[in-house]
Amino acid sequence: MKLASPMGGLEATTYRRLWRASARYRRSLQRCAAASVIEAETIDRDPRDSRPRTGTWRSLREVTERLESFNTSIGSAQSRGNRSPVSSPVSPVFAAASLLFARAFDLRRDLLEEIHGGAPTILIDVADSVMLSQVKNAWQEILLDDGARPAKSYEARKSRPPMNIRYLIIDEIPKASLKQSQEEAAFEALSSVRPLIAISPIAKRCLPDILTRAATARVDLPGLDAPTIARIIRIVTGRVCRDYISPDLAQRVQSADLVIAIRPDRTPAQCVAELERLTTEKQRMRDSRDLSLADLHGLGEARAWAHSAISDIKAWKEGRIPWSQLSSGIALVGPAGCGKTTFASVFCQEAGLHMVSASLAKWQSAGEAHLGHLLRAMRQDFEEARANAPSCIFIDEIDSFPERAGVTHRFRDYVVEVVNALLAEIDGIKGRDGVIVVGASNDIRRCEPALLRAGRLETLVSIGRPDTRELERMLRVRLRNDLQEEDLWSIAEAMVGMVGADVERVVKDARRLARQEDDRPIAMGDLREALRPNRDLSNEERWRFCVHEAAHLVAQVLHFGSAGVFANTVSVGSRGGMTLRASPVPSAGILEDYRKYLQVGLAGRTGEELLLGALSHAAEGAKGSDLEVATSLAASMVGSLGLVGDDHITYFGERGDTEKLLSFAEVRRAVARELAAAAAATKSLLAPRRAAIESIAKRLFDRGRISGEEAASILFDMHDPNFVPAASPVRRHYQSANL
């Protein structure tokens, strides 16, 4: 391939040096191979017998000894010619590290001048541990003249002549016992007023603080690109690489891939093909949870926050901004399975943060669950985060730390002590620089409000259920290279209402179906089969679910229009189906709207009663069920929003805090009246439309999904005298509040 990017002077010099070293190795390899053939033929013949001897342990030892003798003679000849014997090939990773290191300084020519004429303190970050091990062996020959001999900073106390340059290489976070000696060595090296090179994975995390404060320049090792890979192939094989290396392939190649794929006994085409095979295999075998931020869909503001935080962390590492300017605390709120934990893991990976996972349950399980054991476990996790800064401590289920003022049971002192300790660890600790706190909750309303104030988990991000477009992208991510040419829109439409965990389950089920059938590749039919509604239910049970959701859908269409609403019978958790609006519509927030919301919420049970003659428990019995949501909404209408009754214009508590609101007898009585009135209104709304509900339920039974537009068409075709088409200008659209 044509090398698109020209090399700078330092990189070009390094490239020529590596190419010559590799060429010498290949020539010596050829001479050794030729000599081994001659020697083997000589040894394999017995002087007393003209017949060839079979291989024996003695003959193998002789071959080895004579080859070693031959190699020694080559080395001696090269030494006599003032040429160093070549004992090993040029490693492709060494070549990569050398070229990239040289390029980093080609981009900063001013630093080269300072090294040879001044006393700069240059910090070099090499995040890849394999690359770092190679940079340690390569940097001196790249940067220094032949006569220069660098001195390690810790050798400053030894009596030796003055050196031109000092260096410090730390490849991991130093232990506490070494920090003092390293600080002293760094102080002495700076006092010598000579150029100082400090190489580490992350300077802020690994190097003594005095060096990070004294740094005059910071350099990041560039990443691999296609031209560099082509040059490495030419160095190692001795032949020009004429095969195209895509930028995507270059981005996916890792250090280990270079060692496996690029060898002197292969052609450039074989090297590129092997790189393609390795990266494709990794992509195929990659776990669906092994994602990047670009792969995370349906997270809305959370991903934007992550990109911003990563940019700020980089600026902080480079010393351009103080830590206080970062948004270092975030609370993620969303339904179970929406990807909160996955987001935290991926964010830490891309930001280069050490991740500490924690929760109240984890801390309570430490020791014997006494308060002292819990607090000690909490403190240890925060100490780990501080010791490994930059880092992130992820606290799952932060609603386990309830509002202190609302705790009234006999264990109140215990709970308050735990919440106070968490608050102290988050914002009262020393050395908070470099620690980000991420909290996650399914219901943030129960959480201690002090956790969410500025300086703690100050950014609140709500994660909702993904829409059709986001679900399609999530499917693509989890399918990887499979079904790339297929249109997944119809599959994504059938999955609306699901979250990331559900998408992952569907893809796993589909792969299992394909694997069990002759271990073939996954097909569209497998996805449809994995989505087939309620496969474990009888037809009677499925029909009841269809009637239930059809009644919900009719109430939605009649009250709030047909745009963006649909019903399906895909099992999500304990639910046998769902009716949702994929995109919100504006709401005036008046009493009429809320009473319509109640009717939509109670429509499922009313539909069962009208068509099947009896209610089931499908709408009741769990948090998030129809009856729970309707009751919570009615309680908010009465005790929080002041929408119901002239004699109930009183604020009893926060909207959504149903348990507290229902603790007042007058609120309970008013809620019962509202729900009874809503049930009667819902029956009056749906009774004249029994035939339409039945027709919609049949279509739902056959296909597993039906849109609001189809339901509106059925209502219109049945000549409903009270039905106004959704497109009519007199129809007002409102948000369904997920009822």
pLDDT means over runs of 10, the chain (739 residues): 69 92 85 63 52 43 47 39 56 94 90 84 86 90 63 42 71 73 85 88 80 88 90 94 88 88 93 91 60 82 89 86 85 87 89 88 78 84 79 90 72 81 73 81 83 84 85 89 86 81 88 87 88 70 89 92 82 68 71 91 92 77 82 91 78 84 90 94 93 92 85 80 45 32
Q: Tokens representing 83?
A: 């040429």
- Tokens 């020209």: give the residue: 6
pLDDT reported for residue 288: 45
Q: Which of 359, 699, 291, 701 is nearest to 503 (CA)?
A: 291
Contact (CB, 8 A) for 166 and 121: no
Question: What's the CA gap between 694 and 691, in Å, rounded?
Answer: 5
Closest CA to 495 of 485, 505, 508, 486: 505
Q: Cβ neighbours of residue 405 under 8 Å, at least 6 residues apart?
A: none
Residues 24 and 84: their CA atoms lie apart, in Å, by: 10
Q: What is the pLDDT of residue 270?
A: 94
Could you tell me which residues come within 8 angstroms of residue 536 by beta carbon, excluding any fewer than 6 positions away? none
Nearest to 200 by CA among 213, 212, 189, 210: 212
Instruction: Calculate the dihedral angle through the C-alpha atoms of 228, 229, 233, 234, rounding to the nearest 10 degrees.
Output: -20
Q: Residues of 644-669 as b/e, b for ≥16 C-beta within 10 angstroms? A: beeebeeebbebebbebbbebeebbe
DSSP one-letter string for 267-320: -HHHHHHHHHHHHHHHHHHS-TT---GGG--S-THHHHHHHHHHHHHHHHHTTS
**Distance (Å, whole) CA 326 – CA 433:** 10
Distances (CA, A) of 581 to 74, 209, 473, 557, 564: 80, 54, 19, 10, 5
Strand order from edge to edge, sheet including 329-333? 354-359, 391-396, 435-441, 329-333, 459-462
Largest CA distance in the chain: 123
Beta strand pairing call for 459-462 and 329-333:
parallel
Q: Is the dihedral of CA 51, 52, 57, 62 positive or negative?
A: positive
Following DSSP, what letter does each residue of 154-199 receive, concatenated? GGTTS-----S-EEEE--SPPPHHHHHHHHHHHHHHHHTTS-EEEE
User: Which phi and psi (to 5°) does residue 254 adopt?
Assistant: -115, 170
C-alpha R_g of the chain:
35
Q: Write out the two tokens for 170.
A: 């730390």
Two structure tokens written together for 165: 């340059």
Count of alpha carbons within 13 Å of 669, Cβ hemisphere only? 6
CA angle, residues 115, 120, 126, in degrees to nearest 5: 85
Task: Please give the torsion angle defined by the CA atoms of residues 622, 627, 629 and 633, in that order, rounded to the nearest 10 degrees.
Answer: -150
* H helices, E strands: number in the chain: 28, 13
Strands (E), 544-621: 565-568, 578-581
Tokens representing 201 are 């994975």
Amino acid type, 635: A
Q: What is the spatial distance between Cα 531 and Cα 542, in angstroms, rounded to a whole number? A: 14
Q: How far apart are CA 552 and CA 558, in angstroms?
A: 10
Number of other CB atoms surrounding residue 485 within 10 Å:
4
CA 659 to CA 192: how far, in whole Å?
A: 70
Token pair of 478 as six digits: 């989890």
Q: How far is CA 506 from the centre of its chain?
A: 20
CB 616 within 8 A of CB 537: no
- CA 736/CA 559 separation, integer angstroms: 9
* Contact residues for 345 (Cβ-Cβ < 8 A; gap 6+): 289, 355, 394
How far is 639 from 621, CA to CA, in rounded Å? 23
Say whether 329 sits in a helix, a strand or coil.
Answer: strand
* Assessment of whether the complete model's pTM goes beyond 0.85: no
CB 368 within 8 A of CB 476: no
The Cβ of residue 321 has, within 10 Å, a number of other Cβ atoms equal to 14
For tokens 């981009």, the residue is 107
